[in-house]
Structure 1
């Protein structure tokens, strides 16, 4: 943002803006078009503006509630606070040291010890999607399998919580079976072990386990909100997960891995500094760097990167991203480094994201069933003036 734009959003004097920059609360950099001016980091400015939301009109606050910052739904599942991610009050990075994805599912789904013991291991009760049926890899296979199940599963509304928790394990199994295949079964039945076997990466199973735990939930992101909206209608758990899964087709949520792969290719063809510079000039969001909830760095990325070797040109891109944009690696960057360092298949970041996050989608689905309330926000109308008498007949009519 320019200074004028930042001041308009913050509704403060220039001295206050400059003071926030000097205190490190708002990042700034020289404007390449005019080195005498500065540009101010949009996310930092919006975050500061939200802290003074008492000055804003109610309708503005309500509209911004659909964006980062103001909660739109009460939830006891996870939260990002003070630069950390918590699952039901537990630090997610600490849980990743020893917990399995199944352990996190039991925590987020509020399973009793007896339930947790009964629902694992589980295999999907739907047919495995074969390579002959679906072209398009893990994404297409997951969409196809969840759609099949959504067409026949019972609605979620009014069913016992214990029954739904057991069904949730089956929905998770449906997605895993579709994306990696039942051929990954046998031996250790934990999901992390199944992925490691499917990828011939058994020696890296612990890193895969940690990654799945760190991906399990992340507040009310786009996919989670889509899941809750679907479940609020009484749709089945599978349909709710399908709604969340479809959002991963969008480049702004789930598409960071592909965009970062493009950035890596540009760095390999030239150098990291130029790749980042050209990307920023194109005014596209820099993939795999920066996160509005973590201005001091994504703790999930930090938890993984400290266990991984430095790989190139990824490390060079991280340096360039911080120097040119003030952005630090996000979890998407860590997934890319993990994939390269461990020799995992190209779609491993997507599979890890979707598999881990499915646990969170299901947790939010179960919570929404208990809320038993339709999610139906109002629109802030911005069209033509209302109440104007108009003739809807076309001009060609007599």
Structure 2
């Protein structure tokens, strides 16, 4: 819904002010740089936030130099790579044009892998992979999961049959979280069985994996594409994604949400003047649809439901997918840390798709650096 004080302009005027094509305008919207709303007079027409357009005009004026423009593009900036995988537009997440929230109603992660990559043999998931190496049990803390997954992926694979290798990589990721051999069972069912979860929880796990499958050019997806552009193996490209996800500025959100909720538990559900973390995403001004799709189906704990309501009231924002994953973990009594593992396993589908798409483009990602002389603060 449009805020009452927000001025809107047409697509034609927006394109004219920015000097861009309609296709570029839609790219700006998908990156969250310009908010888009349905016209109150014609639902088929989109209108655009004038404040956002003027901010972009000022930004362009400030950064006319190509080197400065390139630098800002790397920090929630303008699109820098072409992809046919995922689009974020008008508050929706689309996998190859298919709404991810609608897809999550029935699809499995295996089906989403085939959608994103395009030519994966469906029989690959019905045939056994090579035996999983020794496991020390399930690894569910974020650092423990990443370490175990990287160790398993470090074993040499074979890309003679790419579909079989894709299935093997996904199974290794699942094995890191379950502590057991997935075999040929659907991945979400294996996780539910290993975590002794109910059939309702199994369906929630399936839904979460689908919703986490890809999110355009995240930091980890970019790392995957850089590594894949060198011709590295799919396993090494996924390891790059895991390494990026291990950083606290990318993969720590579920830990922060859980820590907050557990602190509230210790204090009788009291929030004081705080609000739940992960209640804003810059690409979704009207709220993260993944978080809503997860939470609306959960048998929420009473205290968690109250915290959600109070946080929404205080911030005017909606919970992100990270909040939804932790709420799901708690609602279905999944092992502590399952939220992060589900995020990483689901995102592996997108990492594989990005790696393969980058390989097909046959270009090396090698930007240039702008040299800057270090300032000697001690002499000032």
Q: Same fold (TM over 0.5)?
A: yes
Q: Residues 66, 180 of structure 1: CA spacing in aligned structure 2 closer, same or farther, 3 A cutoff?
A: same
Given that residues 227 and 244 in structure 1 are in contact (C-alpha distance below 8 angstroms), is that contact kept between their aligned partners in structure 2?
A: yes
1:176 paired residue number: 174
Q: Secondary structure at the match of 2:305?
A: helix
Q: CA deviation at 1:52?
A: 5.7
1:195 paired residue number: 191
Among residues 5, 23, 27, which one is paired with 2:6 in the alignment?
23
2:359 paired residue number: 369
CA distance in structure 1 between the aligned counterparts of 2:7 and 2:304, rounded to whole angstroms: 26
1:62 paired residue number: 70
Q: Does 1:295 align with 2:300?
A: no
Given that residues 224 and 240 in structure 2 are in contact (C-alpha distance below 8 angstroms), is that contact kept between their aligned partners in structure 1?
A: yes
Given that residues 128 and 177 in structure 1 are in contact (C-alpha distance below 8 angstroms), is that contact kept between their aligned partners in structure 2?
A: no
CA distance in structure 1 between the aligned counterparts of 2:34 and 2:266, rounded to whole angstroms: 31
1:49 paired residue number: 55
Given that residues 142 and 179 in structure 1 are in contact (C-alpha distance below 8 angstroms), is that contact kept between their aligned partners in structure 2?
A: no
Q: Does 1:338 align with 2:344?
A: no
2:125 paired residue number: 120
1:274 paired residue number: 272
2:23 paired residue number: none
1:8 paired residue number: none
2:162 paired residue number: 164
Given that residues 128 and 178 in structure 1 are in contact (C-alpha distance below 8 angstroms), is that contact kept between their aligned partners in structure 2?
A: no
CA distance in structure 1 between the aligned counterparts of 2:53 and 2:359, rounded to whole angstroms: 32
Q: Residues 341, 229 of structure 1: CA spacing in aligned structure 2 closer, same or farther, 3 A cutoff?
A: same
Q: CA deviation at 1:122?
A: 4.7
Q: Secondary structure at the match of 2:249?
A: coil
CA distance in structure 1 between the aligned counterparts of 2:296 and 2:132, rounded to whole angstroms: 40
1:237 paired residue number: 234
Alignment length, in residue pairs?
A: 331
Given that residues 129 and 164 in structure 2 are in contact (C-alpha distance below 8 angstroms), is that contact kept between their aligned partners in structure 1?
A: no
How big is the alpha-carbon RMSD for the aligned residues of Structure 1 and Structure 2?
3.1
CA distance in structure 2 between the aligned counterparts of 1:23 and 1:184, rounded to whole angstroms: 52
Q: Provide structure 2 residue ranges, at least 5 long, that are not aligned to the other structure.
A: 9-32, 36-50, 376-380
CA distance in structure 1 between the aligned counterparts of 2:339 and 2:299, rounded to whole angstroms: 17
Q: Residues 135, 320 of structure 1: CA spacing in aligned structure 2 closer, same or farther, 3 A cutoff?
A: closer
CA distance in structure 2 between the aligned counterparts of 1:46 and 1:206, rounded to whole angstroms: 39
Q: Does 1:143 align with 2:147?
A: yes
**1:148-207 Cα shifts (integer Å, max 9, x gaps):** 5446346x7xx8xxx333322211112112221335557xx1001111101111322111
Q: Provide structure 1 residue ranges, at least 5 long, that are not aligned to the other structure.
A: 1-19, 26-41, 278-285, 386-398
Q: CA deviation at 1:124?
A: 4.2
Q: Residues 123, 226 of structure 1: CA spacing in aligned structure 2 closer, same or farther, 3 A cutoff?
A: farther
Q: Residues 192, 377 of structure 1: CA spacing in aligned structure 2 closer, same or farther, 3 A cutoff?
A: same
When normalised by structure 1's length, the TM-score is 0.74
Structure with greater Cα Rg: 1
